[in-house]
Amino acid sequence: MGDDRSALLVWVCGGFGTLLLLLVASALREAMAMKRWPVAKGRILSSKVEEYRAIAGAGNFGSTRTRMTLYRPVIAYEYETGGQHFRGDRIAQSPGMNRGIPDFAEQTVRHYPVGSAVDVRFNPRRPGESVLEPRVPGGWIAVLVIAVALLALAARMYFGST
């Protein structure tokens, strides 16, 4: 291997790569489970783009922080199953790309106009848990690419130096 610093770098890259890979696997597992959930007919109650402010660093750690204006779609819907009425607001398994940028949030809102009928997937064990889009957002692909790159780097450093 060489020196202790190289060994540490291999462990750090391999560890973070493994952690990210486990997160992606967990998200895929959850999305696959959601796709098997039963479907109830629902109706959109409200559909709007919400503006919110988030604090972001302005450079070096400890420097002044600035506030960014971001946007997210806020969709509320109702559905009925087993004679009970429920309300939900979860669009997808995780927020994904439809947050932050106004165009993406507006596109999501246009897809779910108020009063429109929708298919709502609900957890049969907890019918109050629901989702409109049982999919893994594309952002997870970037996380997967980073995980594979970190693992490849760790393998290259470990096996390339022996």
**How far, in Å, CA of 90 to CA of 154, rounded?**
37
**How far, in Å, CA of 142 to CA of 152, rounded?**
15
What single string gives the DSSP state of each residue in 77-128? EEEEETTEEEEE---BSS-GGGSSSHHHHHHHHHHS-TT-EEEEEE-SSSTT
Q: Which candidate, 132, 36, 54, 137, places its Cα nearest to that of 86?
A: 132
The structure tokens 């796709």 sit at: 35
Question: Is 75 in a helix, a strand, or coil?
Answer: strand
Bridge partners (DSSP) of residue 54 are: 68
Q: Which residues contact 100 (CB under 8 A, 6 or more apart)?
A: 70, 71, 72
* pLDDT in the model for residue 67: 81
Q: Give pLDDT < 70 ranges for the chain.
A: 1-2, 56-65, 95-99, 137, 161-162
What is this structure's pTM? 0.72
64-111 pLDDT, tens digit per residue, is 667 888 899 999 999 999 999 999 999 987 765 456 788 889 999 999
